[in-house]
Amino acid sequence: MANPGSGEGRAFEDLDRAWAEVRQQWPDGPDPIVVLFSGGVDSGLLAWEFRSHPGLILSTVGTVGAEDLALARSSASALGLRWVGTTVGADDVRDVALELGDLLLSVPAGRRTIFLALAIAIARAPPGTLVCGQGADELFLGYAHFRGLGPEERMARADADLRQLTSVDWPLTVEIARRWGRTIQAPFLDPRFIAAASAIPIGQRGPNPEVKGLWRAWARSRGLPEPLASRPKRALQFGSGIDRIWKGIGPPVR
């Protein structure tokens, strides 16, 4: 538990306040909420915070034997929440890639499997409003490229990452969802939550030494069980096995 008078305590209070305002937009009504769930800290915190919603479903996709499917199953069981796991193969990956077509062409080749994996998660999710944990890595410096940077470099890189996400990557994600007639939302990208997180000094948000240490500590303060709060980051395209399949089914989209 953070000391209320400490920097961490003040950060938690500000995050709690902002999150309470964001959460009010999601009344516990009958319409299903589907969390795109890997079993890690970001999607795990969303699942935890929405656990009282009667229509909550946790959804995970992956290839046979994918790490995400196994971890998500055990995490959902630990939370006591409804979980749907969907196994996908080469035909599913190919079909979704063909459907995306022009949208994938707008993405640099090295990043296409990120959006392909996300598109497959969206396309195969159960009916309902989709919710994902986008934003936590940008706001709390979860990427490997933050390691070894000084405070000014971290701030510049964090600002660039957030601009990339909000101006390019997230709009593309919303458009991908529309291809399947779906609505997707990212509560951590609500302007009120971004403002609260961004006001925390970069030295507190950065890896010092635990990656996303403040974020994980806040998740623990919210009650998220320890196995989820401490789980190492693994990118969706790798944890789901989609990257491996995409590399094996033919030439990339050009």
pLDDT tens digits, 43-80: 999 999 999 999 999 999 999 999 999 999 999 999 99
Radius of gyration of the chain (CA): 18
Contact between residue 190 and residue 170 where contact means Cβ atoms under 8 Å apart: no
pTM of the predicted model as reported, rounded to 2 decimal places:
0.91
pLDDT tens digits, 90-113: 999 999 999 998 888 888 888 889
- Residues 136 and 133: their CA atoms lie apart, in Å, by 7
pLDDT at 7 over 80: no
Report the CATH number of the 7-246 domain: 3.40.50.620
Overall average pLDDT of the 131-145 stretch:
94
If 0-12 CB within 10 Å is exposed, 13-18 middle and 19+ buried, where does residue 101 land? exposed
